[in-house]
């Protein structure tokens, strides 16, 4: 049933995301062609402003899309149909999160392609630029690929964590006990959850500081900083990235379980 739910969520959202991706690609292709041959500081500033506006608009639209994926399909009139399907609430929530993660990855890929196209159309690469780029690529080995992969994974799971938090805030906003205060309390709950995350991190940092080997670990980091051993930096960075991934996955699980509990016990459809 989970597979069918994922297929349904993709079918119900792909047109919206396809429109966003098409807008991004058209923007990064057309705008440079308009401004490239005009040598004017004002035009350059306008081009930069438009590029920034495209990025901001993309983020805003994506948030609205994710809100639609969950809130509209669960708590609106169509939610009656969703919640009567022969599927557990946990499967419904898992489907929403997996589809959101898929769109986040695709958005990252499209955005990267868009940036490359924007740079290429704004100022085509010279032979010197291509040579320098080849030198940089030749320096990328297994360790660097691992770090790039971990960094991308951290970005994805951290974004999914924020989406799960948004879904939970939407669920809180539909608690029947809140009455007419549901919307402001739902919005406030998102920031409360973020505040609780900060408290948890501070408590974790305080607890870690009590470990007997913490001071030695800090001295090792200072030693690495003094010697400038970049490979040791890589090892520390890898550990930090892996920890960040586990941290985000734990919070996604906590938020997901909380959403399922609300859907099972406190659901109040509009």
How far apart, in whole angstroms, are the C-alpha atoms of residue 30 and residue 103?
A: 24
How far apart, in whole angstroms, are the C-alpha atoms of residue 12 and residue 69?
A: 8
Using the predicted structure, report yes or no on whether residue 260 has a pLDDT greater than 80: yes
Confidence (pLDDT) at 112: 80
The pLDDT tens digits for 103-116 are 888 888 887 887 77
Section 16-20 average pLDDT: 81
The pLDDT tens digits for 47-60 are 667 666 777 777 77
Confidence (pLDDT) at 80: 61
Contact 95, 260 (CB under 8 A): no
CB atoms within 10 A of CB 47: 19
How far apart, in whole angstroms, are the C-alpha atoms of residue 248 and residue 242?
A: 10
b/e code 63-84 from CB counts within 10 Å (16+ = b): eebbeebbbebbbeeebeebbe
Using the predicted structure, report yes or no on whether residue 20 has a pLDDT greater than 60: yes
Q: What is the mean pLDDT of the chain?
A: 75
Question: Nearest-CA neighbor of 21 among 66, 54, 63?
Answer: 54
Confidence (pLDDT) at 126: 65
Q: Find the range with the poorest average confidence among 10-24, 121-135, 147-161, 191-205.
A: 121-135
Ranked by mean pLDDT, the top range of 42-56, 134-148, 175-189, 238-252 is: 238-252
pTM of the model: 0.76
The pLDDT tens digits for 199-257 are 888 887 777 666 666 555 556 555 555 555 555 667 677 777 888 888 899 999 999 89
- The residue among 61 and 246 whose pLDDT is bigger is 246
Can you give the residue ranges of every domain in the chain? 1-135, 140-270
Confidence (pLDDT) at 253: 92
How far apart, in whole angstroms, are the C-alpha atoms of residue 159 and residue 128?
A: 37
> Within a 13 Å sphere around the CA of 97, how many CA atoms are in the beta-carbon half?
29
Mapping DSSP onto H, E and C, the string for the chain reads CHHHHHHHHHHHHHHHHHHHHHHHHHHHHHHHHHHCCCCCHHHHHHHHHHHHHHHHHHHHHHHHHHHHHHHHHHHCHHHHHHHCCCCCHHHHHHHHHHHHHHHHHHHHHHHHHHHHHHHHHHCCCCHHHHHHHHHHHHCCCHHHHHHHHHHHHHHHHHHHHHHHHHHHHHHHHCCHHHHHHHHHHHHHHHHHHHHHHHHHHHHHHHHHHCCCCHHHHHHHHHHHHHHCCHHHHHHHHHHHHHHHHHHHHHHHHHHHHHHHHHHHHCCCCC
How far apart, in whole angstroms, are the C-alpha atoms of residue 239 and residue 7?
A: 35
Ranked by mean pLDDT, the top range of 17-31, 79-93, 154-168, 178-192 is: 154-168
Contact 57, 19 (CB under 8 A): no
Section 255-262 average pLDDT: 88
> Within a 13 Å sphere around the CA of 10, how many CA atoms are in the beta-carbon half?
13
């Amino acid at each position: 049933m989970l597979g069918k739910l994922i297929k349904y969520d993709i079918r119900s959202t792909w047109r919206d995301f396809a429109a966003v991706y098409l807008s991004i690609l058209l923007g990064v292709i057309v705008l440079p062609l308009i401004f490239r041959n005009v040598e004017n500081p004002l035009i350059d500033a306008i081009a930069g402003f438009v590029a920034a506006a495209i990025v901001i608009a993309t983020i805003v639209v994506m948030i609205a899309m994710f809100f639609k994926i969950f809130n509209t399909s669960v708590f609106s009139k169509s939610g009656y149909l969703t919640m009567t399907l022969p599927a557990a609430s946990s499967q419904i929530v898992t489907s929403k999160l997996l589809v959101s993660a898929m769109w986040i990855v695709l958005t990252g890929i499209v955005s990267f392609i868009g940036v490359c196209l924007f740079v290429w159309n704004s100022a085509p690469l010279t032979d010197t630029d291509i040579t320098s780029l080849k030198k940089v690529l030749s320096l990328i080995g297994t360790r660097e690929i691992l770090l790039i992969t971990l960094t991308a994974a951290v970005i994805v799971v951290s974004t999914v964590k924020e989406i799960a938090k948004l879904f939970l805030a939407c669920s809180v906003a539909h608690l029947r006990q809140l009455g007419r205060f549901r919307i402001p309390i739902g919005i406030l709950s998102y920031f409360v959850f973020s505040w609780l995350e900060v408290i948890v991190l501070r408590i974790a940092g305080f607890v870690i500081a009590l470990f007997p080997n913490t001071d030695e670990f800090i001295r090792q980091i200072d030693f690495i900083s003094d010697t400038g051993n970049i490979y040791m930096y890589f090892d520390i960075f890898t550990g930090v990235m892996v920890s960040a991934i586990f941290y985000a996955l734990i919070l996604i699980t906590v938020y997901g379980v909380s959403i399922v509990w609300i859907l099972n016990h406190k659901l109040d459809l509009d």
